[in-house]
């Protein structure tokens, strides 16, 4: 399964190796948190929305630097992350409407 960020992208942001076990553990957790916050599995899109990648980078750094934040979820969002998630929610709604219209046109 693909993630919003590749291992190489996450490693570059965190300045760790591509095989860092903590980073690899965080990749799917970050995806799920962003999906829960926005209602869309961004890792399934091709290409992946740049705003989703930005949110994933922010969350990856926060959780890598302070793993205790994982348990609290995203209750104390930094401004940048909150802004990215708000934008992603709007994009998700637009994409859902476009996908529904395309399905109706096919029917």
Residue 62 lies in a domain: yes
Distance CA 8, CA 6 (A): 5
Number of domains in the chain: 1
89 inside domain = yes
Residue 84 lies in a domain: yes
* pLDDT tens-digit profile, the chain (107 residues): 699 999 999 999 999 999 999 999 999 999 999 999 999 999 999 999 999 999 999 999 989 988 877 766 555 556 678 888 889 999 999 999 999 999 999 87
Residue listed under structure tokens 């993630």? 3
Assigned domain for 98 exists: yes
Q: How far apart are CA 105 and CA 10, in angstroms?
A: 39
Q: Is 107 exposed, middle or buried (0-12, 13-18, 19+ CB in 10 A)?
A: exposed
Q: Is 1 contained in some domain?
A: no
Please give the model's pTM, rounded to 2 decimal places: 0.83
Distance (Å, rounded) from C-alpha 35 to C-alpha 4? 10
């Amino acid at each position: 399964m693909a993630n919003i960020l590749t291992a190489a992208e996450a490693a570059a942001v965190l300045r760790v190796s591509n095989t860092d076990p903590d980073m690899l553990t965080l990749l799917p957790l970050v995806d799920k948190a962003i999906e829960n916050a926005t209602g869309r599995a961004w890792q399934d899109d091709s290409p992946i929305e740049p705003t989703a990648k930005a949110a994933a980078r922010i969350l990856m750094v926060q959780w890598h630097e302070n793993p205790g934040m994982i348990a609290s979820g995203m209750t104390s969002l930094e401004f940048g992350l909150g802004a990215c998630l708000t934008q992603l929610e709007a994009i998700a709604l637009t994409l859902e409407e476009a996908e529904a219209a395309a399905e109706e046109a096919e029917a």
